[in-house]
């Protein structure tokens, strides 16, 4: 049987090569991995969305071994310039700027894309890129609504593409070690997991209809979303707090901690979901909750997520974190390290990371730890394997928090079908499983 070069690399994956990035490391396979990679294994990338997170991630991709960022795509000319400059400042060749990412997908040399657009574009762009034969790294949340997440999975599988969601904690080595300890019974049977995110965001005011700024393609920015007039308090960040385009703090940040909680419990879907909260701090256009408590009941445990967008008071002296309660102890993780306590609160094990992590930084909490997740994505393409945060993993973690938002919006507890995660016996809630689209923009697989 003839072996292809890719199969040859895949067969070597049981070796011991280590890719080191930014002070962190991850094992991927073959001892001679770096020497084997040749010109045919160079990965050519496009970055889509560069105003904030994309601007930080573009140079991280560009600095990876045998990887080039050839295109920077953004509907805003200023954001495109930011992305291009970020790559060139990293000492790499200047990428080509493009307004509409769809125009570059016919390039046969383009292998993969990174998507850091507003939430309403995440899944539609993923589906379009998979259909064009490109691998996808898409920021969390995977989708604006659960139906789009299902379509993203279908697209990844139909076109056999690697799709990685930006839940980078799945690749953080010390956190992975902590989760392994949980699975091995370090704190016994887990019965409660508390997650939280804190920040002190300012009011966004009451927007006024205004002319679209020069250099911004607002029609393309809206893309799949039904058209609404441009207002002066929407772009570039405040769209997060409008249901039409964003998903609130729950999906903006809660996705990370809920993903860790779900990972620690090995849970696919919750039994029930309920949410309470509201926009309490300011009288402005902000629609999603600034204060929110989501409760997930599971067969043997309860998960709580606490979101505080307008209160920077820390919990357990951490701006964000996850606390696992077991019958034999507690495990606390804030970022990459973890601490295990016995039933009386005595520290049994404390694993600290030397990485400086800013949990409230919207661009990058830590470049080195972002790079570990990027490296996993690139290795998954080269070795034809599922990434650490595969699209199905990303879908489930995104879905949990989406269910919290649906509960918040309909004002009641939701019962969840354990076979597929759908909402049971609640037609009004299931109407929020999907959304309406601008005519001609409906995502299809």
Beta-bridge mates of residue 97: 72
Query: pTM for the full model?
Result: 0.90
For residue 323, CA distances in Å to 150, 204, 271, 343, 351 come to 30, 32, 20, 14, 15
For 57, the 3-state DSSP assignment is helix
For tokens 């379009």, name the residue.
128
Res 359: pLDDT = 55
Token readout for 302 is: 């309860």
Beta-bridge mates of residue 338: 351
Domain ranges across the chain: 5-169+371-391, 171-359+393-433
Q: DSSP letter string over 309-374?
A: TEE---BTTBSEEEEEEETTEEEEESSS-EEEE-TTS-EEEEE-------TT-SS-S-HHHHHHHH
Cα 221 to its chain centre, rounded Å, is 20
**Ranges assigned E (strand) in 279-319:** 291-297, 302-308, 310-311
Cβ atoms of residues 231 and 207 within 8 Å: yes
Alpha carbon dihedral 400, 404, 406, 408, in 10-degree steps, equals 180
pLDDT by residue for the chain (445 residues), tens digit each?
Answer: 333 434 433 333 333 233 333 333 333 333 333 433 444 589 999 999 999 899 999 999 999 999 999 999 999 999 999 999 999 999 999 999 999 999 999 999 999 999 999 999 999 999 999 999 999 999 999 999 999 999 999 999 999 999 999 999 999 999 999 999 999 999 999 999 999 999 999 999 999 999 999 999 999 999 999 999 999 999 999 999 999 999 999 999 999 999 999 999 999 999 999 999 999 999 999 999 999 999 999 999 999 999 999 999 999 999 999 999 999 999 999 878 999 999 999 999 999 887 666 656 556 566 678 999 999 999 999 999 999 999 999 999 999 999 999 999 999 999 999 999 999 999 999 999 999 999 999 999 9
CATH of 5-169+371-391 given 3.40.50.720, 2.60.450.10, 3.40.50.1240, 3.40.50.1000: 3.40.50.720
Topology at the third CATH level for domain 171-359+393-433: Dihydrodipicolinate Reductase; domain 2 (3.30.360)
Cα 210 to its chain centre, rounded Å, is 32
Res 367: pLDDT = 67
Cα-based angle 196, 318, 183 (whole degrees, multiple of 5)? 65
């Amino acid at each position: 049987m003839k072996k292809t070069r890719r199969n040859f690399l895949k067969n070597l994956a049981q070796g011991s090569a280590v890719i080191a990035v930014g002070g962190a490391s991850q094992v991927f396979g073959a001892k001679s991995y770096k020497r084997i990679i040749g010109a045919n294994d160079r990965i050519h990338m496009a970055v889509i969305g560069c105003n904030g997170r994309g601007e930080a991630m573009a140079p991280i991709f560009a600095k990876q071994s045998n990887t080039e960022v050839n295109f920077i795509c953004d509907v805003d000319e200023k954001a495109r310039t930011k992305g291009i400059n970020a790559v060139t400042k990293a000492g790499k060749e200047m990428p080509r700027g493009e307004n509409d990412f769809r125009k570059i997908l016919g390039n046969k040399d383009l292998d993969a894309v990174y998507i850091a657009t507003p939430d309403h574009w995440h899944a539609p762009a993923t589906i379009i890129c998979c259909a064009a034969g490109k691998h996808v790294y898409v920021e969390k949340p995977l989708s604006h609504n659960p139906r789009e997440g299902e379509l993203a999975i279908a697209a990844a599988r139909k076109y056999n593409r690697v799709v990685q969601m930006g839940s980078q904690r799945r690749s953080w080595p010390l956190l992975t070690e902590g989760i392994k300890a949980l699975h091995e019974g370090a704190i016994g049977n887990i019965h409660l997991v508390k997650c939280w995110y804190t920040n002190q965001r300012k009011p966004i005011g009451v927007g006024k209809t205004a002319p679209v700024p020069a250099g911004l393609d607002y029609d393309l920015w809206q893309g799949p979303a039904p058209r609404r007039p441009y207002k002066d308090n929407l772009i570039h960040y405040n769209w997060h707090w409008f249901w039409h385009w964003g998903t609130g703090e729950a999906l903006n940040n809660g996705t990370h901690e809920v993903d860790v909680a779900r990972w620690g419990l090995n849970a696919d879907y919750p039994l029930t979901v309920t949410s309470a909260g509201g926009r309490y701090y300011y009288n402005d256009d902000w629609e999603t909750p600034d204060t929110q408590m989501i409760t997930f009941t599971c067969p043997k445990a309860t998960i709580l997520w606490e979101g505080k967008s307008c209160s920077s008071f820390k919990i357990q002296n951490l701006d964000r974190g996850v606390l696992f309660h077991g019958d034999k102890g507690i495990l606390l993780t804030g970022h990459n390290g973890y601490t295990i306590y016995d039933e009386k609160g005595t520290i049994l094990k404390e694993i600290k990371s030397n990485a400086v992590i800013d949990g409230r930084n919207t661009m990058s909490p830590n470049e080195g730890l972002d790079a570990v997740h990027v490296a996993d994505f690139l290795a998954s393409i080269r070795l034809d394997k599922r990434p650490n945060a595969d699209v199905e993993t990303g879908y489930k973690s995104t879905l949990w928090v989406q269910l919290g938002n649906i509960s918040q919006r309909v004002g009641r507890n939701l019962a969840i079908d354990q076979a597929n995660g759908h909402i049971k016996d609640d037609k009004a809630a299931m109407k929020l499983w999907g959304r309406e689209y601008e005519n001609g923009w409906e995502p299809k697989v």
